[in-house]
Amino acid sequence: MRQKLVVGNWKLHGSKAQLEDLLADVIAGSENLTSAVEIGVCPTYVYLGHAAQILVSSRVKLGAQNVARAGEGAYTGEVAAQMLAECELVYVIVGHSERRQLFHESDTEVAEKFAQVQASDLTPILCVGETLEEREQELTDQVVLGQLDEIINKVGIEAVANSVIAYEPIWAIGTGKTASPEQAQDVHKTIRDHLRKQKEDVAATVRIIYGGSVKATNARELFQQADIDGGLVGGASLEAEEFISICNSAD
């Protein structure tokens, strides 16, 4: 039985004071969640050390939104996976569509980041997803599985077991348009079937979470689908009550 996972991606939002308030409310709300759900938050880099101190005795896991493709070196402005590991992190998002689109991250770069994260004993949350144009051209499976295969080719199928896959249709991110539970389930099943062809136990254990305008009002139906193991939540994770209500939908 896969434990559900709900992770908030706070992106480039909030001040230190807002982070403290939000974390306090999320920690308080998390105390009443059942053990059926694991909860995490990904604040911006500069607050990670502070967030780690606040979260230390809570059940809320900490994640980063990005990582360097290299372990060390002359890469001004970058942050290495090992440095994140030292800040008591658990998760690192790699290949978010905003990174792929706005910062031109290639599949190769995403695969290098994925490998760096695992080499530092952290868990990558690998984002995959298609644009609206690709969906309309019926290229969804090809795009999503192609992004996944880049990772498998780099680290091998066994390593995928120690990761989380986030299916995030780009047309649903921050747009208010959510994939229907059936649309999301179809893609999640395609991903799991693809893994199953290579390694049955990896397919059975890896968590595949959905992202794209998840809200308290649509979370339960999404999370009830057979292959949807939780959510990666952007906008709605910035409001503690809404976020906790989404987490509650995962039990």
Q: Is 174 in the site for ligand PEP (CB under 6 A)?
A: yes
What is the C-alpha separation between 3 and 109, in angstroms, rounded?
Answer: 29
Element spanning 97, H or E: helix 97-102
Q: Is 229 in the site for ligand PEP (CB under 6 A)?
A: no
**Residue 200 C-beta: closest distance to ligand PEP, Å:** 29
**Residue 71 C-beta: closest distance to ligand PEP, Å:** 26
**73: alpha, beta or left? (left if phi > 0; alpha if psi -120 to 50):** left
Q: Is 146 in the site for ligand PEP (CB under 6 A)?
A: no
- Record the tokens describing residue 75, joined without a space: 């890469």
- Interface with ligand PEP: number of residues (CB under 6 A): 13
Q: Is 242 a catalytic residue?
A: no
**Residue 76 C-beta: closest distance to ligand PEP, Å:** 26
Q: Which of 238, 239, 188, 237 is nearest to 210 (CA)?
A: 188
| Number of neighbours of residue 24 by Cβ within 10 angstroms | 13
Q: Is 9 in the site for ligand PEP (CB under 6 A)?
A: yes
Touching ligand PEP, residues 150-169 (CB under 6 A): 168
Type of residue numbered 109: E
- Record the tokens describing residue 227, joined without a space: 């292959």
What is the C-alpha separation between 126 and 23, in angstroms, rounded?
Answer: 24
Among 81, 89, 195, 232, binds ligand PEP (CB under 6 A): 232
Among 164, 211, 229, 247, binds ligand PEP (CB under 6 A): 211
Binding site for ligand PEP (CB under 6 A): 9, 168, 173-174, 211-214, 232-236
